[in-house]
Amino acid sequence: MTKTEVQMAAVRLAAVDAFTSTPLAGNGATVALLPGPASAAWMQALAAELQQSETAFLWQDADAWRLRWFTPSCEVPLCGHATLGATLALHHWGLLSIGQPLALHSRSGPLRVELTAAGLVSLDLPSPGLLPRPGAPWMEAVLGRPPLGQWSSALGYGVLLLPDDYPLGALDPGASAWAEGPERAWVLMQAATAPYDYQLRFFGPGLGIHEDPVTGSAHALVAPFWCQRLGKATVAGWQPSHRPGGMHAQPLDSGMIRIIGAGIHLWDGLMPWPPELASAEQWRFAVA
């Protein structure tokens, strides 16, 4: 193959730190720009190789941009920080201008993204809503006291509301209790002090993630709860993890949640080996 042919078949890679304006903070994601519709097995293998909490895979299908996300162990239906990363990567590659809205088609439907300023991204994520869930003995056992509320969700995330004075930072993401229920991951949330309205941590044993540093899909899930509780149209959320970060969230009339967050482009590279391809139909999802 000539150099040009290798470049056309290659996979463009970028690394981004999402929901932070500080390099090496927030949530790290890798983004792969594909020359064709890669197979799920190949994408899973690359995500396992890259070892980020999520890797975003982009493919331009005629006029439509397709987007999928993989953790090191599985494909997920929604990921906020890697979508922010994909937006920054497209801009870095000269494929998206500041102020140019774009729909990224995913398993969760079309997601509107826009780079509103250098390093600042707006993304519209679905919020499937909180579903009442009965309590369980393991919750009080791992927390040391009963939660104030507990919910599940269509995303497979469980949610626990903790008292304002609860030491959120003391929770152990490696505790076996987080794998007790049918949920794949847990959001532990409580009210926060200014400039933030609430804070949360995210443990994802069923996703192969010990602790996700800053989780856009989790904030999109719980932001309506905090807007209603606080009587605010927009709330600021913080994630006090080992790589902290935050965002603003605004429920829209469409039922989507608009997340505003910063990001940092770290590096860009080219993998000269082409992906294993699948049929294009495996990338064209029908969303109910």
Which residue carries 């519209």 as its tokens? 124
How far is Cα of residue 184 from the mean position of the Cα atoms in its chain?
14
Work out the angle at residue 47's Cα, subtended by the Cα atoms of residues 44 and 48, and round it to the nearest 5 degrees: 85
User: Judging by DSSP bridges, how do beta strands 120-126 and 109-117 pair with one another?
Assistant: antiparallel
The residues with which 32 forms a beta bridge, in sequence order, are 13, 57
How far CA 230 is from CA of 143, 219, 234, 264, in Å, comes to 25, 15, 10, 31
Work out the angle at residue 233's Cα, subtended by the Cα atoms of residues 202 and 132, and round it to the nearest 5 degrees: 45
Assess whether 140 carries a catalytic annotation.
Answer: no
CB 288 within 8 A of CB 112: no
CB 188 within 8 A of CB 203: yes
Three-state DSSP class for residue 41: helix
H or E stretch covering 172: none
Residues 6 or more apart from 116 whose CB is under 8 A from it?
98, 99, 122, 260
User: Out of 49, 54, 180, 211, which one is annotated catalytic?
Assistant: 54
Half-sphere exposure of 177 (CA within 13 A, CB side): 13
List the structure tokens of 254: 């469409």
User: d(Cα 6, Cα 269) in Å, to the nearest integer?
Assistant: 14
Active site residues: 54
